Amino acid sequence: MCISYINSGFYSILVIKMNLGEALSLLKKEKSRLARLISLRKENVFVEEGKKTEFDPKKLSEDIEKKIEDIRKLKIRIQKTNISSKLERDNLTIAEAIIKIGDIRSKLSNLSSLFERKRDRWYFDKDTKNYIPQLDESETEEEIEKLEAEKTALDNKIQISNWNTELLDY
């Protein structure tokens, strides 16, 4: 992370250069700080008559609004970067890869639960009904393994790109 100031007579701007991985880490920390500020404000909104709160809820509200604004700006920078940056040795943008991983996770979830009903039905159904599977469970397991491998490879590419891609400006 590199911090610098741009001063042009009319205005000064704090410029923070960082890579995408650092930005994601910062976003997580800022969200945590926001949650603590909100909790602190909640704890100090009421005070016993004649006493003073440890923290001023109005000041905390201002800090919360500022933190929300900072988080929003950081999220926008992250999204701009994800949309315009390609994965290394791949034709996907980081944003496309993130969506693809979500699709793979969804497919994995659906495939993983396919044969649960069969087992539940056999356990709870005391009648001697014969159920015939319409899909091959071993083929489904193979597909799950392939999808897991694809998800892992794609996730690794995203992680590498996150640490090698400079965050775009707001």
**What is residue 19's three-state secondary structure?**
strand
Helix axes 57-84, 20-44, angle to 10 degrees: 160
Q: Write b or e for each residue in 26-51: b if 16 or more Cβ atoms lie within 10 A of its Cβ, otherwise e.
A: bbeebeeebeebbebbeebeeeeeee
Query: Taking 70 as the threshold, does the pLDDT of residue 12 lie above it?
Result: no
What is the number of H-type helices and E-type strands within the chain? 5, 2
> What average pLDDT does range 101-124 have in this prediction?
81
| pLDDT for position 131 | 76
- Give the residue from 94, 81, 85, 99 showing the smallest Cα distance to 157: 94
Average pLDDT, the chain: 89
Mean pLDDT for the stretch of residues 96-107: 98
| Choice between 130 and 108, residue whose per-residue pLDDT is larger | 108
CB under 8 Å to 109, separation ≥6 — which residues? none
**Residue 82 pLDDT:** 98
Q: What is the mean pLDDT of residues 26-49?
A: 96
pLDDT above 70 covers what percent of the chain? Answer: 84
Q: How far apart are CA 28 and CA 34, in angstroms?
A: 10
Indicate whether 19 pLDDT > 50. yes
- The mean pLDDT of 106-120, rounded to a whole number, is 82
Q: Domain residues of the chain, as ranges?
A: 19-84, 94-164
User: What are 61-95's pLDDT values in tens digits?
Assistant: 999 999 999 999 999 999 999 999 999 888 999 99
